[in-house]
Structure 1
Amino acid sequence: MEPIRGTDPTLRQLLRRIARRRRLLLAVAVATFVVVAAWTLLATPRYESTAVLRIESKSAIPSLSDAVKELPGMGLAGLAKDELDTDIGVLKSSRIADATIDAMGLAVQVKQPAEDRARVIRVRVLDSSDVEGKITLSRRDDGRYDVQTDDLEGVGKLPAVWAPGDSLRVGSLMLALPENLRAGGPSTIKLRLLPRYKVHKLLDRRLTIRKQEGGSRLVEVSFADPDRRFAAQVVGVMVREYVTYMLQTDEHDETAQIRELRAALGTTAVRLATAEEQLRRFQQRARVVLPTEQAEEQVKRIAAVESRIDAIRIERNGLARLLELIRSRSASGGDPAAYRQLATFPSLVGNRAIQDVLAALTDLESKRSALAVTRTEANVELQQITSRIADLDRQLYRLGSQYLESLDQQLTSTTRTVGTLNDTLVALPATSLQYARLARDRTILDSEYVALYKQLKITELQDVLRKEKVKVVDPPRVANADDPEFPKRTVQLVLGLVLGIVLAFAVGLGVELWTEAD
């Protein structure tokens, strides 16, 4: 039952109306599938070769950054930036790309036959100038090739015939036909010469460099090309150039660092020796070893000497008063034994001379007392003993006076010593300050020397134990001829079928809507 005109058809009705145009739908689907299938079957296949590299950390000894990035959460803060990204950046750099381009002659594309480049052409790059254009070689019956160019400018006139085994310079490129082409080869060889910027674009499209997931340090390097052997060679050359560059860079960096450290160490050693010599001379001139401790000892010495001065002054004053008292008593004649009071003075009690005089006095006094019992004062012997006793009393007084003089001398010399010590103590702050400055300079230079020496030994150890930073885990392999990376025929045909069905339905729907609008 047809819907009333002017009303919208239902989905089922629309599908039925589209299905009535099954021939159109089938034609569109088949045509689309045929186009996709033809493109899939006729497209030049590209084969991919892959190498897997393990890129180690640059330093064999953990650095501070390595320790920091091990802390929880540090990676989220951006502090654990892996140097692997930098190494991948070097691998993708123009330096490595240009070295690969020159080594493999990527400026020359073999368009036909694309599957066996090494069999038909050999390329050597002479300089970095660009050449762009096309060269077509047609085989002659004698095995040589006719040369035809297209849009090839700025390279001069090329010979019309090119024989296998001969070389031909085209601008910055030296091209050579292999000798094996004499025996047989393709009837037509088509070459496309590309400027360097286009080669870089081509390399960017066909080259894939990525690190594997999961935090590993494995990096995959892949290249796709119609020539599966050439693809493996390109990957191999790129890996070799990268490994060589990294080894040379590491060796150069470590050698330069060792050279700089040795120079800095030598300069620091000279400065340290100068600082030590200045400190030694200052110590000898100022007669100091440890100024702080010496100042403390000096204060203690001054205190001890001043205490000694006080003791001497007290003793001297006491002795002086006693001698004055003895002098006054002996002068008045009221106390004949006044001189003997000196024997009671504390400092003179242990004096041997005083004790000898006292012993002699005691003996004479005993004799005098014994004679006085039987003799008169006019007795000569008694007078002699009395005179001798008087002499000993005066001798005892002289000993006291001499001891007083010795105390005065001690007081004078000790006071002079205190003055000298005080003068030395006054000069100690300036001496200590100068000593501290010289010792500080020596300590800083010594620490600098030790730090440089340790760093030098670490760097020398790293240089001796230097390991290869880049290791080839999987070398590039030549892909199987039945396993092209592009196109995947089964996948392409299935997608072509799906595309044909979708496109057929879209065409049928469009026709119905167009008819409905009319």
Structure 2
Amino acid sequence: MMLGDPSSADDRNPRAGRAAGGFGDAVFEDDQAALWSEEPQEAPAFDLASYWRLALKHRILILGCFLGALAIGAALTLLMTPIYTATATLQIDREAARVVTSEDVTPRENMAMGEEFFQTQYGLLRSRSLAERVVESLGLASSDQALASIGAEPPARSGTAAAQAERRRAVALGVIQEGLGVTPVRGSRLVAISFDNPDPVVAARIANAFAENFIQSNLDRKYESSAYAREFLEERIAQTKGRLEEAERQLVAYAANQQIINVGESDEGDANSGASQSLASNNLVALNSSLATARAARVAAEEKWRSARTSQLMTLPEVLQNPSIQRLTEQRAQLDSEYQQKLSVYQEDYPEMVRLRAQINEVDGQVQSLAANIRSSIQNQYVVAANQERSLQAQVNGLKGDVLDLRDRSIQYNILQRELDTTRTLYESLLQRYKEIAVTGDVTANNISIVDSARPPSAPSKPNMMINLALAALFGLGLGVIAALVLEALDETVATPDDVEKKLGVPVLGVVPLLDKGQTTAAALADIRSGFSEAYYSLRTALQFSTPDGAPASLLVSSARPAEGKSTTAYAVALNLARVGKRVLLIDGDLRNPSMHRVVGVENERGMSNLLSGSADLQSVVQRTRQDNLFFIPCGPLPPNPAELWGSDRLRQFLLEARNSFDHVIVDGPPVLGFADSPLLAASVGGVLFVLESRGTRRGQARGALRRLKVGRARLLGTVLTKFNAKTTSYGGYDYAYDYAYGSDGEPGPKKGKKA
């Protein structure tokens, strides 16, 4: 058989990563490693669509948990004993209404402490002591019949009567505390006291008993605190009275011994309340005040005399303001005016003029005399003021020594006086407080009142069918979701293209649907309008775009383990490339378990084992098939060492020779795991197509196979997911179903890409 000699395959289909002059010599490039990785790609933080697909995948499990929980919830609700809830409402005030203005002995809470006060009251309502009061007041532990009336199981009759009574008391106390509910009304001072019991009358009776006993216990605590305060104050008053009498006796005795005489008490509001003033101190204060006045008068008189002594006599303010001088000045002015008028008529020696001149001189003399007297009086005032100041200063100096001596002797006196005042104040305060408590002790103030008494309820409060069913539904739904997540986390299989990309980190080039029962691969491939054929058409198209220069010239089809569909995929890819006019050489590269010759329908007498061992050439082993442009090389006799044959230089020489005659060489390789054949083949061809069986290949197996291919520097183009059940699996919102009936009979409604 003669093979054509077209131009070099490398010239027609050059490809980066292939050695020059070597057909299909590919190396693993760093940029290619970014296209596929053993680690899954990072998914978004929250993908609602993926969770929805997960719910659809495990819908049977989730629905079963949901319905099972509903059934169990309904059954348990119907089997429960009806419980009735009776509620009494109390109003709790921070302070009770005051009958008298005096304060109680119990502490008062302000607004800042209000929350603590109310929380304390709620704790008292739930206290064991209040529950014991209720049990005692209602006689709930008096007999077995009393316990049975509240729905409690009587204890076994054993031991003494006291032991039996104590056991009944413990049982009743447990039932009472378990059925009690304390619920504050938000934003108010009201609190609801509820009690649950199978008997509505018993529930109401116990709820009212809690309210009444709580009020009574509050009054009892206040009365006990008042009684304790009265006893305490009586004892303290007696002690303080004795100390007060002793302090008074000591103070009087010391004052008589030291001759300390006090004339008055200071005001109670003074800082030195209780101190007294002595005679010497009073005299010193009075004289010191007089001395200050005298000193001020002396200073004023001295200043006036200094001014009068240095100034002209007629310029002094006292002279100018004197009434007599002012009158004489007016008289002189009249005489001087008359003199000037007559001077124009008479001569100066005229008798009338001499008389007027004499009168004027007399008035001037009188004025000078009065002015001199005024200056002398100013001097006398200064002398008197200075003498008075010196006299007072001498008396003050004399009293200072007496006061200082008295102060030395009054130190102990003041100590005794302060002790007396302190004791007296304490005694008066205790006596006043005792009188207030005596008044308030008889008027018991209560800050708790009953707003609404409990009444027997007409309908049970528990169980609530709707609430229980809602809780059961939520529990069942949550359990189903958790079970689905656990199963999904434990699921190691690769079922969908999304699983391939997320779990393996490699692209998906094609998805091949699962054939129906009774349908063969040969028949499905023969029907070009079947979904099976369409899947491989799509794979061929994806291969055309897998490299910048189209489908690789040499391609290895392999899988992680046997029976995943790699032989069918290799044959289908070769068949589809041949249908578009490409010269394709299909090789059965599984030298351990060959099967492609049965698919193609040729004999397996001579093949790749002969070619690689050197016992045959390329033209002697290539066989034609029923499909135009498709040629096939079978496995040939099984060699004892397949890995050594694939690792020899004959493989590279064969690929170089095949490129001159064929456009594409498709190798159906052996499984990757457990054998060294596929990594050796992958290092020599231009690309690797990895086949995965949907729900058949585990993630660990696929990762191991991909890791081995990576070590062999393979150029992985992508994966093909085979045996994909499109009827039970939806992916990305669309079903993988193929139906070419659209348009054949004019009916609308294509199924390809139908929404899930």
TM-score, structure 2 length as denominator?
0.35
Higher RCO, 1 vs 2 (CA within 8 Å, ≥6 residues apart): 1
TM-score, structure 1 length as denominator?
0.49
